[in-house]
Amino acid sequence: MKSFEYAAPKTLKEATELLSDSWGKTEIMAGGTDLVTSLKQRISQPERVVSLRNIPELRGVKPELGGYRIGAMTTLEDLASNSDLTGFKALITAARGVVSPQLQSVGTVGGDLCQRPRCWYFRNGHGLLARRDGKSLVRDGDNRYHAIFGNDGPALFVSPSSLAPALLALESTFTLTGPGGKTRVVPAADFFRTPKAEGERETVLKPNEILTSIFVSQRSAPQNATYEVRHRHGLDWPYVTASVAMTVRNGEVAYAKVVLGHVAPTPWVATAAAKALNGSAPTEIQAAKAAEAAVTGAKPLSGNAYKIQMVKAAVKRAVLAAAAS
């Protein structure tokens, strides 16, 4: 890897002061499970790496009016085992879905949300949009694990975050901190974006900002669940994820939100699936209808049409799991 300066500040103020205001010059290290690989592969070649491991205020889960605040440096293991969060089954299931004990103990909530795409064209140095001579390497190449939604533009990778679909379904908010301690609160749904040019990133984070915490509300939805479709429960990322949050009153769904993961450049809100649930009893028949509606607008590439059936299965099972909770 290319040589770089390493900084380990002890306060958030120091950390933001060490960051550059342009991409590429500095990188933030949380658990390092993604960044270290990027450094070795020279996908990222910063002049300085700023570690957050010595900043205690970024760790832990704390009760707050109406919900809980999760520090961005909280490990996946600590998140999954926190007794205060047992009502957020969608989130806990997603955290436990990262089945490697090493990743669980080192990987962090913020790191999971901010990790770069796993697209093998990007990871092999072909750029985020993987284009050559004006043409997409993905559309004409091996695209088994690429997007089936939101793929009309040049971005065809899928959002790799395990926690994002659940946090969107639970309508969480993210706090970002920049120079001078200035903060801004961003809804989870607005944090992720689809790049249209090579120099853009997959989130709204600025180069000199840090994702510092996530707030989950107890009022978001009392019944929620996540279902992942994986390859033999291996250590790799899921093929498809579905997170469902809903409120049931008098036997009928009064509110529902369905969010898909690993199928689009951002976590994908399946609006039609939620509409299929609202006003109906969350039965197996209705769950199947929601599953069919969830693939509305899907546009598979040449090698990933199999994801259509996986989305249906994941949504149906997530709906039934949420209803059972």
Asked if the model's pLDDT at residue 233 lies above 90, the reply is: no
Q: Give the per-residue pLDDT at 237.
A: 87
For residue range 246-267, list pLDDT tens digits in order.
999 999 999 999 999 999 999 9
Q: Which segments of the chain are extended strands (E)?
A: 5-7, 26-29, 48-51, 61-64, 67-71, 131-132, 135-136, 173-177, 183-187, 210-217, 223-229, 240-249, 252-261, 268-269
199 lies in some domain: no
The per-residue pLDDT for 292 is: 98
Nearest of 132, 186, 181, 176 to residue 154 by alpha carbon: 132
Residue 22 lies in a domain: no
Instruction: With beta carbons less than 8 A apart as the criterion, state whether 261 and 243 touch.
Output: yes
3-state secondary structure of 27: strand
Report the domain count for the chain: 1
Residue 264 within any structural domain of the chain: yes
In the chain, what percentage of residues exceed pLDDT 90? 90
Going by C-alpha positions, the residue among 8, 13, 12, 108 that lies closest to residue 49 is: 8
The answer to the question of residue 99 being in a domain is no
* Nearest residue to 58 (alpha-carbon basis) of 72, 68, 69, 76: 72
Residue 215 lies in a domain: no
Has residue 221 got a pLDDT over 80? no
Q: Which two tokens stand for residue 308?
A: 């259509």
Is residue 319 in some structural domain?
Answer: yes
CA dist 160 and 259 (Å) reads 14
Q: What is the pLDDT of residues 53-96, one digit of tens each?
A: 999 999 999 999 999 999 999 999 999 999 999 999 999 999 99
For 284-317, the pLDDT digits (tens) are 999 999 999 999 999 999 999 999 999 999 999 9
Question: Residue 256: its pLDDT value, please?
Answer: 96
130 in Cβ contact with 121 (< 8 Å): yes
How far apart, in whole angstroms, are the C-alpha atoms of residue 156 and residue 243?
A: 21
Contacts of 303 (CB under 8 A, 6+ apart): 142, 143, 144
In a domain, 242, yes or no: yes
Mean pLDDT over 203-207 rounds to: 96
pLDDT recorded at residue 234: 59
Q: Which helix (H) or strand (E) holds 77?
A: helix 76-80
Residue type, 238: P
Q: Which CATH number covers residue 316?
A: 3.30.390.50
| CA 182 to each of CA 16, 232, 277: distance values in angstroms, whole numbers, following the listed order | 10, 45, 40
pLDDT at 231 over 90: no
Return the axis-axis angle of helices 306-324 and 89-96, rounded to nearest 10°: 130
Q: Cα(95)–Cα(79) distance, rounded to whole angstroms?
A: 7
Q: What are phi and psi of 225, to 5 degrees?
A: -160, 160
**pLDDT attached to residue 236:** 75
Q: Is residue 89 part of a domain?
A: no
Helix, strand, coil proportions of the chain in percent (round to 5)? 30, 25, 45
pLDDT at 274: 98
Supply the range of the domain harboring residue 232. Answer: 223-324
Distance set, CA 131 to CA 58, 116, 147, 156, 314 (Å): 37, 17, 16, 11, 32
The pLDDT score that the predictor gives to residue 89 is 97
H or E element that contains 110 = helix 109-114
Q: Is 70 exceeded by the pLDDT of residue 235?
A: no
Confidence of residue 224 (pLDDT cuts 50, 70, 90): very high
- Confidence (pLDDT) at 266: 98
pLDDT for residue 232: 65
The overall average pLDDT reported for the chain is 95
Residue 115, phi then psi, degrees to nearest 5: -65, 150
Spatial separation of the C-alpha atoms in residues 226 and 258, rounded to whole Å: 10
Q: Could you report the per-residue pLDDT of 16-50, keeping only the tens digit for each?
A: 999 999 999 999 999 998 999 899 989 999 999 99
Q: What is the mean pLDDT of residues 202-212?
A: 97
